[in-house]
């Protein structure tokens, strides 16, 4: 099992560019989510998905789109990058067993928007 794989690990974008952060998991987890981590702000939920074909907004969804066409993949799209989107992005997949939710995180994507 590779777990949760995020690509790329680092990215620099110019303001206004678009890009997609990839996230794949091979654990057959139904639940996947995207967080951004900023200094002093902790992790904030951007979007999440409870299964293929179902997505919903988290705390900070503006400027980001997601889709979930398969169980394995949950890409995060930045349509028009802004400097405020400079952050470290984490993808997580989760499963629930007897109501305990364990989230498995990718290694993160460090994004800089100039």
Partner 1 sequence: GEDVEQSLFLSVREGDSSVINCTYTDSSSTYLYWYKQEPGAGLQLLTYIFSNMDMKQDQRLTVLLNKKDKHLSLRIADTQTGDSAIYFCAEEGAGTALIFGKGTTLSVSS
| End-to-end Cα distance, the chain | 36
CB of 12 to partner 1, least distance (A): 18
Residues from 30 through 89 that contact partner 1 (CB under 8 A): 31, 33, 35, 40-43, 45, 48-50, 56, 58
Asked if 96 interacts with partner 1 (CB under 8 A), we say: yes
Of 23, 92, 111, 113, the one binding partner 1 by CB under 8 A: 92
Could you tell me which stretch among 20-28, 64-72, 73-81, 90-98 binds partner 1 (CB under 8 A)?
90-98
Going by C-beta distance under 8 Å and a sequence separation of 6 or more, which residues neighbour residue 113? 12, 13, 14, 15, 81, 82, 83, 84, 85, 86
Residue with tokens 């990839």: 22
Pick 58 or 75: Cβ nearer partner 1: 58
Residues 3-22 that bind partner 1 (CB under 8 A): 4
Radius of gyration for the chain, computed over Cα atoms and rounded to the nearest angstrom: 13
**CA distances (Å), 10 to each of 21, 22, 35, 91, 95, in order?**
10, 12, 16, 14, 27
Where on the chain is the footprint of partner 1 (CB under 8 A)? Answer: 4, 31, 33, 35, 40-43, 45, 48-50, 56, 58, 90, 92, 94, 96, 99-103, 105-108
């Amino acid at each position: 099992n590779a777990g949760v794989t995020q690509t790329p690990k680092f990215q620099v974008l110019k303001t206004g560019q678009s890009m997609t952060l990839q996230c794949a998991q091979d654990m057959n987890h139904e639940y996947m989510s995207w967080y951004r981590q900023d200094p002093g702000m902790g992790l904030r939920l951007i979007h999440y998905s409870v299964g293929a074909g179902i997505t919903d907004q988290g705390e900070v969804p503006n400027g980001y789109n997601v889709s979930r066409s398969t169980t394995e993949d949950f890409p995060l799209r930045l349509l028009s990058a802004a400097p405020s989107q400079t952050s470290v992005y984490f993808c997580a997949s989760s499963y629930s067993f007897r109501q305990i939710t364990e989230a498995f995180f990718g290694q993160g994507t460090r994004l800089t928007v100039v």
